[in-house]
């Protein structure tokens, strides 16, 4: 039904009782209020692979929307805007991280149910069974014997170089 047809009876359109009707509705977010170049941040920055942690996403200004969703990697979850940022200039929404395999994902936000997205920060899923390190990162076979050290150094941003020795020093191939 077009907008101008909303007052017609369904029978006038050839629809009878028991007919199956598929409806498509459109809903538009006022994109004038959404700065697509804004930098998003989130806290906390990580959770276990089981998910379930409440995550706050901050931005410059979020539009009022009942179709706000967050995406963790490729997984969608419902979100709720707590502050549109009209007065403070800082918007905040809340969502719950879903379960996900260990590693980094990008957190993204949509105000139109997933048709368009604002890309956000990196969020880490941690595997508590990976040992003493805080982030469960797969370690290449060439780094055997150094798994814990390499995992911990990778998560802190240290890159391993190599001198060709097998002790994990320079040239070890543990990059």
Provide the mean pLDDT of the chain. Answer: 73
Dihedral pair phi/psi, residue 84, rounded to 5°? -75, -15
Measuring CA to CA, which residue among 113, 111, 124 is closest to residue 38?
111
Q: What's the domain range around 57?
A: 47-143
> Mean of the pLDDT values across residues 136-142?
53
CATH code: domain of residue 114: 2.60.40.10
Choose the most confident range, by mean pLDDT, from 1-5, 67-71, 89-93, 145-149: 67-71
- In a domain? residue 98: yes
Q: What is the pLDDT of residue 140?
A: 54
- How far is Cα of residue 101 from the mean position of the Cα atoms in its chain? 13
8 is written with which tokens? 């017609």
- pLDDT at 14 exceeding the cut of 80: no
- Top pLDDT among 141 and 74 is at 74
- In a domain? residue 67: yes
Q: What percent of the chain has pLDDT over 70?
A: 58
Q: How does DSSP classify residue 51? A: -
What total number of domains does the chain contain?
1
pLDDT in tens, 114-138: 999 999 999 999 998 876 454 445 5
Choose the most confident range, by mean pLDDT, from 60-69, 77-86, 103-112, 142-151: 103-112
- In a domain? residue 99: yes
pLDDT in tens, 31-57: 455 666 788 999 999 999 999 999 999
- In a domain? residue 150: no
pTM of structure: 0.59
- In a domain? residue 119: yes
Dihedral pair phi/psi, residue 143, rounded to 5°? -105, 20
The owner of tokens 């070890």 is: 172
- Give the number of other Cβ atoms within 10 Å of residue 111's Cβ: 25
- Top pLDDT among 99 and 21 is at 99
- In a domain? residue 175: no
- Give the number of other Cβ atoms within 10 Å of residue 37's Cβ: 7
């Amino acid at each position: 039904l077009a907008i101008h047809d909303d007052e017609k009876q369904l029978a006038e359109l050839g629809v009878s009782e028991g007919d199956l009707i598929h409806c498509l509705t459109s809903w538009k977010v006022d994109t004038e209020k959404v700065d697509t170049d804004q930098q998003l941040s989130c806290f906390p920055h990580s959770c276990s692979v089981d998910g379930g942690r409440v995550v706050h996403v901050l931005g410059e200004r979020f539009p009022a929307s009942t179709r706000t969703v967050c995406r963790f990697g490729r997984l969608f979850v419902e979100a709720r805007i707590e502050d549109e940022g009209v007065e403070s200039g800082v918007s905040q929404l809340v969502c719950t991280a879903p379960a996900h395999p260990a590693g980094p994902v990008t957190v993204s936000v949509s105000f139109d149910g997933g048709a368009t997205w604002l890309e956000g920060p990196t969020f880490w899923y941690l595997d508590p069974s990976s040992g003493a390190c805080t982030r469960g990162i797969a370690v290449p076979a060439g780094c055997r014997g150094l798994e814990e050290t390499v995992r911990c150094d990778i998560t802190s941003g240290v890159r391993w170089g190599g001198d060709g020795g097998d002790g994990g020093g320079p040239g070890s191939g543990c990059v």
